[in-house]
Amino acid sequence: MDPKKKIDRIDTALAALGPHAEECALCPRECRVNRRSGETGVCQSPDRAGLARALLHHGEEPVLSGPGGRVRGSGTLFFTGCNLKCLFCQNYQISWLGQGRLVDDEELARTMIALQDRGAVNINLVSPTHLVLPILRALKIAYGRGLFLPLVYNSNGYEKVEVLERLAGIVDIYLPDLKYRSGGLSERCSGAADYFGFAGPALQEMYVQQPDFILDGDGLAARGTIVRHLVLPGQVEDSIAVLEWLAETFPPSLPLSLMSQYRPCFRAPADLGRPIEAAEYRAVLQKARELGFEQLFVQPDLFGPGENLNPDFDLDQPFRWKT
């Protein structure tokens, strides 16, 4: 979309969502804190963005990072804090422990432009839900200065439809997780018994806004909705329930990314204290094929010993890609 039209949409979104800065109900947690005055809720974030890292990401799906993961990369912004906070989070250093630096809107906009100047193929907002206001303010600046890359909204799925509706015409690619179907599991792992009750309608709204998965001439996503699901150890049944709901709700052309990379991190519950087994991933993948998903992104069904995709944000280069 023409950046000028995006700026108009951003102005409208900021007018509608702005009051949340002083009584925040931007996400299902509905903490109602005054973030402008420095109060924080579950996401532990004031009304400025905490930025943990901005980098060219070579490990996203090939349509987002570039074919082979070697070309240019996804211009990824890792934000501090999170509104969901899974106990097993692989990004716990930033989502739970607060690593990162508060930046103002101007610096955030400059960071987006800098990623574009370095050859990024998109701007990829990781965990943007709780920071939608500073992100929108920064995008307004960045679009005014020539940002033109597709915008990826890389979300845990724990979203409110009325907030997402304000992002129509601004977000080009929705990249939501659908983590759990069971309320018991989502309560135990993320303190959110209502996860599916919010994530389901949120995914439907995203798909209404971006139903068509469009690739450009280089095989890179230009628009669309890609759903991610991380298979958890011992939870094949819940994964299958997630897939069945997706298959009932969306057409088979819905792109689905099935992830096997789970490693227990941080405060993972005891029964989730191991990687998944190859057989578990194969069972979920087999079900996805039976259900007829036409566009599947897959990972290896087994990672070798010591081989994992978990980042370490204590390092200058948190990921270990062989670029």
* Nearest residue (CB) to ligand SF4, 33 versus 254: 33
Per-residue contact flags (x/-) with ligand SF4 for residues 168 to 207, judged by CB under 6 A: ----------------------------------------
Question: What's the rounded Cα separation, in Å, for the pair 130 and 194?
Answer: 17
Q: Does 167 bind ligand SF4 (CB under 6 A)?
A: no
Q: Which stretch binds ligand SF4 (CB under 6 A): 24-32, 56-64, 67-75, 289-297?
A: 24-32
For the record, the structure tokens of 183 come out as 């309320």
| CB-CB contact of 307 with 301 (8 Å) | no
Q: Which of residues 129-148 bind ligand SF4 (CB under 6 A)?
A: 130
Per-residue contact flags (x/-) with ligand SF4 for residues 83 to 122, judged by CB under 6 A: x---------------------------------------
**What residue number has its CB nearest to ligand SF4?**
41
Least spacing, CB of residue 83 vs ligand SF4, in Å: 4
Per-residue contact flags (x/-) with ligand SF4 for residues 69 to 88, judged by CB under 6 A: --------------x-----
| CB-CB contact of 92 with 266 (8 Å) | yes
**Strand locations in the chain (E):** 49-57, 74-79, 101-103, 123-126, 151-155, 173-176, 214-215, 221-225, 227-230, 255-259, 295-297
| CB-CB contact of 75 with 56 (8 Å) | yes
For the record, the structure tokens of 144 come out as 């005014």
Q: Does 27 bind ligand SF4 (CB under 6 A)?
A: yes
To 5 degrees, how large is the angle CA 101–CA 179–CA 316?
30
Least spacing, CB of residue 49 vs ligand SF4, in Å: 12
Q: Does 49 bind ligand SF4 (CB under 6 A)?
A: no
Q: Does 41 bind ligand SF4 (CB under 6 A)?
A: yes
* Nearest residue (CB) to ligand SF4, 79 versus 207: 79
Question: What's the rounded Cα separation, in Å, for the pair 56 and 62?
Answer: 13
How many CB atoms lie under 10 A from the CB of residue 103?
Answer: 21
Among 43, 77, 108, 265, binds ligand SF4 (CB under 6 A): 43
For the record, the structure tokens of 280 come out as 């578990």
To 5 degrees, how large is the angle CA 8–CA 171–CA 154?
145
Q: Which stretch binds ligand SF4 (CB under 6 A): 2-10, 30-38, 175-183, 214-222?
A: 30-38
Residues that bind ligand SF4 in the complex, under the rule CB under 6 A: 24-27, 29-31, 33, 41-43, 83, 130
